[in-house]
Structure 1
Amino acid sequence: MLFRALKKFFLIPPNWLKDFAGAWVFYTILPHWPGIKPQFKRIARFGPAIGFFIGCIQITIWLILSKLGWPTESLALISVALAIYLTGGLHFDGLIDTADGIAAGQEKQMEAMKDSNAGAIGSLAIIAIILIQISALLKLNNLSIIAIPIASFFGRISPLWAIDKFPYLKDKGMGKFHKDNWKGFLKEIIPSLIIIVIISTIFSIIPETKIVRFNLLIGTLVGTIPVFLIPNWLGNRLGGHNGDSYGASCVLTETLMLIILGFFLEVY
Structure 2
Amino acid sequence: MTPLPPARPGEITPRPGWFPRLGGAILFYTRLPLPSGWQPRFEGIAPLAPVVGLGLGLGLVGVDFTLGQLGMPPLIRSALVIGLGVWLTGGLHLDGAMDTADGLAVMAPERRLAVMADSRSGAFGVMAAIAILGLKTLALAELTTGRGWVLVAALVWGRWGQVVAIARYPYLRAEGKGALHREHLRSPQDWLLGLALALVLHAGWGWSQPDQLGAVGISLLGGLGLALGTGAWLHRRLGGHTGDTYGATVEWTETLFLCLATLL
- Whether these two folds match at TM > 0.5 is yes
For the pair 1:138 / 2:141, whether they are aligned, the reply is yes
In structure 1, distance between residues paired with 2:183 and 2:87: 28
For the pair 1:34 / 2:41, whether they are aligned, the reply is no
- Equivalent AA in structure 1 for residue 77 of structure 2: L
- In structure 2, the partner of 1:262 is 262
Contact 2:164–2:191 under 8 Å retained in 1: no
Count residues with an aligned counterpart.
248
- In structure 2, the partner of 1:226 is 226
- In structure 2, the partner of 1:100 is 102
Q: TM-score, normalised by structure 2?
A: 0.89
- In structure 1, the partner of 2:7 is none
- Equivalent AA in structure 2 for residue 41 of structure 1: E
- Equivalent AA in structure 2 for residue 51 of structure 1: G
- Equivalent AA in structure 1 for residue 123 of structure 2: A
Q: Deviations over 1:202-243 (max 9, x none)?
A: 3244144xx512311222222321111110110111111011
Contact 1:223–1:261 under 8 Å retained in 2: no
In structure 1, distance between residues paired with 2:198 and 2:128: 30
SS in 2 for 1:34: coil
- Equivalent AA in structure 1 for residue 245 of structure 2: S
- Equivalent AA in structure 1 for residue 18 of structure 2: W
SS in 2 for 1:171: coil
In structure 1, distance between residues paired with 2:254 and 2:196: 20
Matches within 5 A, 1:53-64: 53-64=55-66
- Quick one: which of 159, 162, 180 aligns to 1:159? 162
* Superposed displacement of residue 129, structure 1: 1.1
- In structure 2, the partner of 1:3 is none
- Give the unaligned 5+ runs of structure 2: 1-15
Root mean square deviation, CA, Å: 1.6
- In structure 2, the partner of 1:171 is 174
In structure 1, distance between residues paired with 2:93 and 2:209: 34
Q: Deviations over 1:150-178 (max 9, x none)?
A: 11100101111111121111111122101
Contact 1:24–1:50 under 8 Å retained in 2: yes
- In structure 2, the partner of 1:213 is 213
For the pair 1:129 / 2:157, whether they are aligned, the reply is no
In structure 1, distance between residues paired with 2:144 and 2:168: 36
In structure 2, distance between residues paired with 1:197 and 1:103: 36
- Quick one: which of 110, 115, 118 aligns to 2:113? 110
* Superposed displacement of residue 260, structure 1: 1.1
SS in 2 for 1:78: helix
- In structure 2, the partner of 1:11 is none
- In structure 2, the partner of 1:251 is 251
Contact 2:199–2:220 under 8 Å retained in 1: no
Matches within 5 A, 1:9-24: 15-24=17-26
Q: TM-score, normalised by structure 1?
A: 0.88
Contact 1:224–1:257 under 8 Å retained in 2: no
Poorly superposed stretches of 4+, deviation over 3 Å: none
Distance of aligned partners of 1:206 and 1:252 in 2 relative to their CA distance in 1, 3 Å threshold? same
- In structure 1, the partner of 2:52 is 50
Question: Between the two proteins, what is the percent identity of the paired residues?
Answer: 33
Distance of aligned partners of 1:175 and 1:33 in 2 relative to their CA distance in 1, 3 Å threshold? farther
* Superposed displacement of residue 34, structure 1: 3.1
* Superposed displacement of residue 201, structure 1: 5.2
For the pair 1:70 / 2:81, whether they are aligned, the reply is no
- In structure 2, the partner of 1:86 is 88
SS in 1 for 2:208: coil
Which moves more between the two structures, 86-95 or 158-167?
A: 158-167
Contact 2:53–2:152 under 8 Å retained in 1: yes
- Equivalent AA in structure 1 for residue 161 of structure 2: S
In structure 2, distance between residues paired with 1:126 and 1:216: 28
